Structure 1
Amino acid sequence: MDEPMIPSSIADIDASWMAAALGQPITGVNHEQIGEGVGVSSAVYRSTLEGGDLDSVVVKLPALAEEAVFTSTVLRMYIREVRFFENLAGQSPIRVPAGYHGAVDLETSQFVQVMEDMGSMRMVDQNEGMNIDDAQRAVDELAAWHATFWRKADAPVDRGDVVCLSDPVYPAVLPMVFAEGWEKVNNAMDVDPVIASVGPGWVDWMPSALERLSGAPNTITHGDYRADNILFDDEGNVVLLDFQLTGRGSASYDLAYFVTQSLAPDLAATHETALFNRWLDGLIAAGVPEADTTNLWDRYRDAALFCLVYPIVASRGMDFSDERQYALVDNMNTRFVRAVDQLHLADLL
C-alpha cells in the first residue's frame, strides 16, 4: 500500500488515509480534538477507528494558530517529533507511545504523527502542579533518560534528529518571538515586579546561557519535561509525551524546567534541593562519571532563568480568553518568580 500524503488538516484523514497509514483495514474514523489549553505547538486529535486492531489512535498535526506554527517551523519542532519516533524512541528508558506513522516535509515542516493513544493513563494538571511522590518518580526516570544518552547526543544532532541548544537558530529567532510574547503578556496580565525587572535583560543574557547549557558533558534533553507531558501508568511508572523540543544540552536543563514549572511554588521551595540531589544520585548510579556532574548546579540555575522563555513565547499562540490557557501562563510566571527569588537568578544577568 502506498504511503499516504501528508494531510493539510484533520479533514484529510479519512478511513482510506488511516488504512494506508496503519496498514490495517480501517473502515471508519471519527476525530475529536484533545489537549486544548495543554499544548500550543500542535493540534492533537483522538481518532476512534472502525475495523483493524486498534480502537483509537492519537494524531498530531501543526498548530491551528499561525504564531505557533511559525515558531515551531523555524525551530524544526515538527521535524524533531517525527525523527524521535523514527530513530530514538526505541532507546528511551521511559515508556513512550508507540509510533504508528510519521511523515514531515523538510521544506515546509508540514507533518503528521500517528501514535498510540495513552488516554487511559493518569494525568497531572500542570496548573494544579505535581505532588511530591509523583515528582520523585518523574525525577528518577528523568535521571535514567539522561544517563542513557550521556555523551551520546552528537550523532542525533548530526542526523538532524535533535537540535543543539547552541544552534544559531535560537539566538536568531528567540529575541523576536520573546519580544512579541513579552508585549502580549504585559498587555494581558499584571506582571509581577520580579519578572518585570528580569525580562528586559533576558534577551542579552540568553546567547551566553545557551552556550553554557550546550557545553560538554551533555546528553539528549527532552526539552519540555513538565507535568502536562508526563502520564503515569497503574504501577506509577512515567509515560512521556511530546518530543518537539528534543535537544543536545546539559541534563540540568530538563530538571530545572520540571522542578521550577511543574511543582507549586511552596512545594518546589521545600523540595528543590532534595530533588536535585536525588536526580544527581540517579545519574551516578546509572553510570554517569561523578566528575561529569560537578557543574550541574550552576547549569541548573542557568536553565531556571532561561525557562522564562516558555510562558512568554508560548503565549504568542495562546488564547487568553480561554481560562485554562490564561491560568497556565499565569501559573508559570508565578512559579518563575519563586525560582528567581530563591535561587537568586537575577544575579546571573
Structure 2
Amino acid sequence: MTIPRGPQDVTPAWLGPVLGADVRDVDVTAIGTGQTGATYRVRATYAAETDLPATFAVKLSAQDDAVRERVALGYRSEVEYYARVAGRMSIPVPPCFYSEISDDGADFVLVLADMAPAVQGDQIAGCSAQEATLAVEALAGLHGPSWCDPEWMALSGIAMPKPGDDAAAGGLGEISVMAAGILVDKLGGDISEQDKETLTAAMSLVTPWLKAEPTRYALMHGDYRLDNMLFDPDRTRITIVDWQTVGIGLPGRDLAYFTATSLDPDVRSTIEKDLVDQYHRALLGYGITDYDFDTCWRDYRLGVVQAPLLTGLGFAFAASTERGDEMMLTMLHRSCRAIRELETLELITSYQAN
C-alpha cells in the first residue's frame, strides 16, 4: 500500500483496500494536539452493509519534513508496539486495523479505532484524582506483564537506552544537557531561576540516573501524560495512545512522569503516596512478588527525572507551537518542583556515592 503523506491522500481508493471493503466516500477531520505526528478522524461511507466501524482515527507522520526525519525512530516504535506488543499487555489501547511504515521510518500510517466519545486529557489544566487513579492502575497493565522479561530487549523501536547500555546512557546524557540549553535559551525569560537550576542539575545527572537501577525494568510508555490519554465522559474508563517513545527501564519513571507533569503540584503532593500505593497494589496483581512498597516509592522518587528529560527533548526536537510552548513551561515547572520536593537529585547522588 502507498502510505498517505497527508490527509489529502486518505481517499476511498486508499482506505478501501486497507480495510478490505468497498469504501465509497471519506470525510477527514484533524483531531488531537500531537507535535510529532498528525491524527485525523476519518468517517467512511461504505458501498454495502458492513460490520466495520463508521469512523476511524488515522495517524500519519508530522507534516513538517524536518520533524518527520528527526522522529523516525518514534514512528518505528509506535508501529512495532501495535504490531508486536499491544496484544500481550493489559494496558488499554485502541484496536489497530492497519499499520505500515516506510523503510526509512519517516512515513507511517496507523488506522485505529475511533474512541469517541472519549476525550483527550488536558495537559495544561491537569487532571482530577479520579482520572489519576485510572491512569496509574492502567499503567500497571503495561509494567506487570513485561516485568523483568528480557524478551522485550529485542524490540527494534526502543527510543531510550536499554538497561546496561552505558554508551547509550552517556550519549543521552550529552543530548539532554544540550536540549536543556536550547529550552532555556528560547524560553528562559518565562522560567524561574529556581527551575532553571533544577533543570540544569537534573540534566547533568541523566547518565548516572539511567544507570541507577539496571536490574529492575519493564516496558515503558515513555511519555505517559494527559495529552496521551483518552477518558470516557463518565471517567470510568481510560485508553492510552501515542506509543512513539516506548522504552525499557525502571518502571517508576513512567509513574513519576505522569504525576509530576499531569497533576497540579499541590494536588500531586497531597495524593501521590496514595497513587503510588494504588499502582503498587495493581502491579502485584500481575504476580510480582519481590517488590515491596518502600522500593516502589524509592523508584518513584528516582523516576521523576523522566519529566524534565522528556520535556527538554520534546521542546528541542518537536515543532514549536503556542500551545506546545505553554505546555512545556507548565510541565517543566511542575516537574522541577516535584524533583525538589521528592529530593530526587540527592537520591541520584547517593547512588553515585555507593
User: TM-score, length-normalised on structure 1?
Assistant: 0.87
Q: 1:285 to 1:184 in 2, by over 3 A?
A: closer
* Structure 2 letter corresponding to 1:133: Q
Percent of residue pairs bearing the same amino acid type: 25
CA contact (8 A) 1:221 1:248 kept: yes
Partner Cα distance (1:130, 1:82) in 2: 28
* Structure 1 letter corresponding to 2:94: P
Answer yes or no: is 1:331 the counterpart of 2:326.
Answer: no
* Structure 1 letter corresponding to 2:299: R
Partner Cα distance (2:334, 2:277) in 1: 20
Q: Provide the residue aligned with 1:10 in structure 2.
A: 7
After TM superposition, give the deviation of residue 305 of structure 1 in Å: 1.9
List per-residue Cα deviations over 1:221-272 (Å, max 9, x = no partner). 1112111112223571221111111121111111011111111111001111
Q: 1:329 to 1:285 in 2, by over 3 A?
A: same
Q: Counterparts of 1:123-202 in structure 2 under 5 Å?
A: 123-152=120-149, 154-160=150-156, 162-163=158-159, 165-166=161-162, 171-172=170-171, 175-176=174-175, 179-180=178-179, 182-188=181-187, 189-202=189-202
Partner Cα distance (1:221, 1:313) in 2: 17
Partner Cα distance (2:169, 2:57) in 1: 30
List per-residue Cα deviations over 1:14-57 (Å, max 9, x = no partner). 11111111111111122222113xx2121111122111533221
* Ranges in structure 2 where 5+ consecutive residues have no aligned partner: 350-354
Comparing 123-132 with 46-55, which one deviates more in the overlay?
46-55
After TM superposition, give the deviation of residue 102 of structure 1 in Å: 0.5
* SS of the residue 2:22 aligns to: coil
Q: Provide the residue aligned with 1:231 in structure 2.
A: 230
Partner Cα distance (1:278, 1:256) in 2: 13
* SS of the residue 1:40 aligns to: coil
Q: Provide the residue aligned with 1:220 in structure 2.
A: 219
Residue number among 50, 56, 61 corresponding to 2:45 in the alignment: 50
* SS of the residue 2:305 aligns to: helix
After TM superposition, give the deviation of residue 124 of structure 1 in Å: 2.4
Q: 1:178 to 1:54 in 2, by over 3 A?
A: farther
Q: Provide the residue aligned with 2:320 in structure 1.
A: 319
* Structure 2 letter corresponding to 1:332: M
* Structure 2 letter corresponding to 1:155: E
CA contact (8 A) 2:77 2:246 kept: yes
Partner Cα distance (2:112, 2:247) in 1: 21
Answer yes or no: is 1:305 the counterpart of 2:280.
Answer: no
After TM superposition, give the deviation of residue 334 of structure 1 in Å: 1.7
List per-residue Cα deviations over 1:197-216 (Å, max 9, x = no partner). 13334443212212235x22
Q: Counterparts of 1:104-123 in structure 2 under 5 Å?
A: 104-123=101-120
After TM superposition, give the deviation of residue 83 of structure 1 in Å: 1.0
* Structure 2 letter corresponding to 1:43: A
After TM superposition, give the deviation of residue 344 of structure 1 in Å: 1.8
Q: Provide the residue aligned with 1:271 in structure 2.
A: 271
CA contact (8 A) 1:209 1:306 kept: no
After TM superposition, give the deviation of residue 81 of structure 1 in Å: 0.7
Q: 1:10 to 1:258 in 2, by over 3 A?
A: same
Q: 1:173 to 1:98 in 2, by over 3 A?
A: same
CA contact (8 A) 1:181 1:314 kept: no
RMSD: 2.4
Partner Cα distance (1:293, 1:211) in 2: 21
Partner Cα distance (1:49, 1:19) in 2: 9
User: TM-score, length-normalised on structure 2?
Assistant: 0.86
Residue number among 19, 26, 44 corresponding to 1:22 in the alignment: 19
Q: Provide the residue aligned with 2:61 in structure 1.
A: 62
Q: Counterparts of 1:257-296 in structure 2 under 5 Å?
A: 257-291=257-291, 295-296=295-296
Structure 1 runs, 4 residues or longer, greater than 4 Å off: 167-171, 291-294
* Structure 1 letter corresponding to 2:92: R
Partner Cα distance (1:329, 1:57) in 2: 29
- Aligned length, in residue pairs: 338
* SS of the residue 2:97 aligns to: strand
Partner Cα distance (1:330, 1:295) in 2: 31
Partner Cα distance (2:59, 2:177) in 1: 25
Q: 1:123 to 1:7 in 2, by over 3 A?
A: closer
Partner Cα distance (1:315, 1:105) in 2: 26
